[in-house]
Amino acid sequence: MIPVIAVVGRPNVGKSTLFNQLTRSRDALVADFSGLTRDRQYGQGRHHGRRFIAIDTGGLAGEEEAVDQLMADQATAAIEEADAVLLVVDGRSGLTPGDQAIIDQLRRQGVAAHLVINKTDGQDEEQAAAEFHGLGFELLHRVSAAHNRGVRQLLDAVVGDEESLEGEEEAEDEDRIQVGIIGRPNVGKSTLVNRILGEDRVVVYDEPGTTRDSIRIPFSRRDRDYTLIDTAGVRRRRQVKEKVEKFSVVKTLQSIEQAHVVVAMIDAREGLVDQDMHLIGFALDAGRAVVVVINKWDGMDPEDRRWLKEHLRWRLGFLDYARMHFISALHGTGVGDLYDSINAGYDSAMAKWSTNQLTRILQDAVTQHPPPMVRGHRIKLRYAHQGGSCPPRVVVHGTQADAVPRDYQRYLENTYRRVLKVEETPIRFEFRSPDNPFEGRKNTLNKRQKQKKARLMQHVKKKEKQTKHRKKRA
């Protein structure tokens, strides 16, 4: 079994920085801001050939109300999942009542934790660890997570240096369907994640901006592997005031880039707003398959529902190939239907087609509706092949192919989409014309003609001069 390591401690002691060093990534947000991490963040690491899973948790501050209680519940769940627990303390602040409270809690749960004294750079390590010796821990690990000092020795003690078993198969992240859930704050993204997973996996609280990081959650359903990416809600730029929230926006946009399928959530009570359009537009620009989900559909008046459907059809006319789901994430209504759309979007985005198949579709489309004349010459489209996936890319070759008008490109896109049954995902087209073998010869010919004309003029002048000389002698 792959060992699981949970990183716990008070707020702002460097847990997320240590998590990033353990996983050799920048998956966890790091800033000098107390309470930044709220949900459990999973990451994969490897030490001396042995794999492990690390869990970053929110700070245990001892305050049991509102969001702080939910954060504490997330940290407690991570401790229960873990094979090893790293209790991180601040070597500069020394032992605090908050640290002692966490230690007592771990002992009540019967958890044997490793005490990690962080931020020991710039001071005497023995002096920094002196007051922690009396706590009864077998080993004290002194590290500087910010400078990656002492982390290797920590992993030696926790994970060991055993090589992974030969033949052990690893489900690579690329083999999973990456599903990014995006939307404005408080639209119900985390509620949908918890509903899909059947557990309170991420913090859900009636306050915009509860999710600040992008949380990656792997799971399986009916022999298919998924990774859900719960992202922070993105507000309009002028409303983004906290520096930490600006980091979250970047993480959300990066998560869109990493996803195969993007679930764009819209609040049915507020309707479609410009920020929803911006997020969907970013997903389409990134070439991602899009599934539109209208949440909080329950309890709406029939007239309001009718108006909203017409409004969405009008505003999202450019997205007519994407399925639209009307759900209630809180009650689970319609959530199960999302899998068909997610699977269809992924299958379309990653589909492989032969050159013969794509060329045959092109020839049939051209026969049925030939391309227009350009500068008095007919555009001739000859063959097509696939140029990539996610999004699927079709490369079309022909004479004057780069002059194909936009309307005809849309005609080809609709034809390919219909014949190949491409759903949810945009299709990119690239038109290429062969290199003109006569390109550049015009200038060469002009140069030669000028040279020939110059030689002729010289010859004429020479003859005239000779004639004039003979007349003068005569």
Residue 96: give its domain's CATH number: 3.40.50.300
From 158, 192, 211, the end of a domain falls on 158
Which segment, 200-214, 232-246, 365-379, 431-445, is predicted with the most confidence on average?
365-379
Determine if the pTM surpasses 0.85: no
Residue 163 lies in a domain: no
Could you tell me the pLDDT band of residue 250, with boundaries at 50, 70 and 90?
low
Pair 93, 189 in one domain: no
User: Mind listing the pLDDT tens digit for each residue in 2-28?
Assistant: 788 888 888 888 888 898 888 887 655
Q: How many domains does the chain have?
A: 3
CA gap 55, 84 in Å, rounded? 10
Residue 386 lies in a domain: yes
Pair 273, 371 in one domain: no
Token pair 């996996």: residue: 201
CA gap 368, 468 in Å, rounded? 73
From 324, 349, 374, the end of a domain falls on 349
At residue 207, the 3 state secondary structure works out as: coil
CA gap 145, 163 in Å, rounded? 25
Pair 390, 291 in one domain: no
Nearest to 17 by CA among 123, 113, 147: 147
Pair 345, 359 in one domain: no
User: Mind listing the pLDDT tens digit for each residue in 28-81?
Assistant: 544 444 444 455 677 778 888 787 878 888 777 655 444 456 667 777 777 877
User: Mind listing the pLDDT tens digit for each residue in 177-217?
Assistant: 899 888 888 888 888 888 888 755 444 444 444 444 456 77
CA gap 288, 290 in Å, rounded? 6
Residue 389 in contact with residue 427, Cβ under 8 Å? no
Q: What is the pLDDT averaged over residues 301-322?
A: 91
CB-facing half-sphere around the CA of 341: CA atoms within 13 A: 22
Q: What is the pLDDT averaged over residues 122-126?
A: 66
Residue 446 lies in a domain: no
- Strand 215-221 and strand 140-142: the pairing is unpaired
Pair 20, 148 in one domain: yes
Residue 443 lies in a domain: no
Residue 427 lies in a domain: yes
Pair 181, 289 in one domain: yes
What's residue 183's pLDDT? Answer: 85
Pair 323, 386 in one domain: no
Residue 186 lies in a domain: yes
Pair 126, 185 in one domain: no
What b/e sequence results for 307-346 when a residue is b if at least 16 CB atoms lie within 10 Å of its CB, and e otherwise? Answer: ebeeebeeebeebebbbbbbbbbbeeebbeebbebbbbbb
Pair 359, 344 in one domain: no
Pair 21, 111 in one domain: yes
Pair 111, 14 in one domain: yes
Residue 283 lies in a domain: yes
**pLDDT over 90 (residue 147):** no
Could you tell me the pLDDT band of residue 253, with boundaries at 50, 70 and 90?
low
**pLDDT over 70 (residue 170):** no
Q: What is the pLDDT averaged over residues 90-105?
A: 83
Pair 342, 360 in one domain: no
From 349, 376, 409, the end of a domain falls on 349
Tell me the residue range of the domain where 39 lies. 4-158
Structure letter (DSSP) for residue 138? S
Residue 445 lies in a domain: no
